[in-house]
Amino acid sequence: MRDALVAAAFQLFLERGFEQTTVDDIVALAGVGRRSFFRYFPSKEDVVFPDHERCLADMTEFLDSGSDDEDPILRVCDAARLVLRMYAENPTFSVQRYRLTKQVPGLRHYELSVVWRYERTLAAYLRERFADRPDGDLRAEVVSAAVVAAHNNALRSWLRSGGQGDATAGVDEALEYVRRAWTCEGAPSGGPQEAEDVVVVITKRRTPMWRVVRDIESTLGND
């Protein structure tokens, strides 16, 4: 019945438009009563996103099942892939929803609230894993936002293409960019920095600066 309601709703949304379609129209086409509709969906907006609650639950369970010795950055990247899997299960539906959401501001706001809940779920996990760091809360917030942004950038690129191509490859590349940037402590995403030389100079207080500089250059030139 739930799938029938979703199918009926999208048929009407595509034919008439979201705003012009009522809950009564949906249940009439699906052949069920209004009570049945609200048993599954609190509102008409919820029927557009019927799978996000399940995906949020799966993401929470996945994060909770991780081990303490596992890289938390890698774990949240893998958790984000659960969202991609949900979209990729039904590319036609996902593309239709994407196009519909772009046309209806109310749905766009609803989608943003869903994305925010994904980000909060990732941030809550990271706060626990980074609890022993002085910058733990900040790092959790920034990393979770980066993971969601990278995932959504690749996902929307795939949706804009009409669901063509390899969505997984695009998301993997985007998430790997985030993982590299945050797994290497103190290093940019291009890789670890080379160690810098440290030179200690011992000289008399009244030694002219030009002689100090000369001695340093001489020492470095002999290495």
Taken in order of first residue, the domains within the chain and their CATH numbers are 1-44 (1.10.10.60), 49-183 (1.10.357.10)
- The amino acid present at 155, given as its one-letter code, is L
Q: Per-residue pLDDT averaged across 109-119, rounded? A: 93
Q: Model confidence at 211, in pLDDT bands (50, 70, 90)?
A: low
Using alpha carbons, select from 54, 24, 174 the residue that is nearest to residue 118: 54
Other Cβ atoms closer than 10 A to 217: 10
pLDDT in tens, 170-183: 999 999 999 998 87
Which residue carries 């985007």 as its tokens?
174
Q: What whole-number distance in Å separates Cα of residue 117 and Cα of residue 124?
A: 10
pLDDT of residue 214: 67
Q: pLDDT tens digits for 61-70?
A: 999 998 888 9
Query: Is 83 a residue whose pLDDT tops 60?
Result: yes
Q: Environment class of residue 196 by beta-carbon count within 10 Å: exposed (0-12), middle (13-18) or buried (19+)?
A: exposed
Question: Any idea what DSSP says for residue 45?
Answer: G
DSSP H or E stretch at residue 8: helix 2-16
φ and ψ at 76, to 5 degrees? -70, -30
Q: Which residue has the higher pLDDT, 47 or 209?
A: 47
| pTM higher than 0.85 | no
- pLDDT higher than threshold 60 for residue 133: yes
pLDDT at 193 over 60: no
205/69: higher pLDDT? 69
13 within 8 A of 34, measured Cβ to Cβ: no
* pLDDT score recorded for residue 209: 62
Of 148 and 206, which is predicted with more confidence? 148
d(CA 37, CA 151) in angstroms, rounded, equals: 32
pLDDT of residue 187: 37
Note the pLDDT of residue 213.
Answer: 62
Q: What is the pLDDT of residue 155?
A: 96
Per the rule left: phi > 0, alpha: psi between -120 and 50, beta: everything else, 204 is beta
Measured distance CA(55)–CA(83) in Å, rounded: 7
pLDDT (mean) for 203-210: 65
Look at residues 103, 92, 112, 99 and name the one whose alpha carbon lies nearest to residue 20: 103
pLDDT attached to residue 182? 87
Element (H, E) at 25: helix 23-30
* Buried b or exposed e, range 121-137, using 16+ CB within 10 angstroms: bbbebbbebbeeeeeee
222 pLDDT above the threshold of 70 = no
Confidence band of 26 (pLDDT split at 50, 70, 90): very high
Taking the alpha carbons at both ends of the chain, their separation in whole angstroms is 78
> Is residue 210's pLDDT more than 60?
no
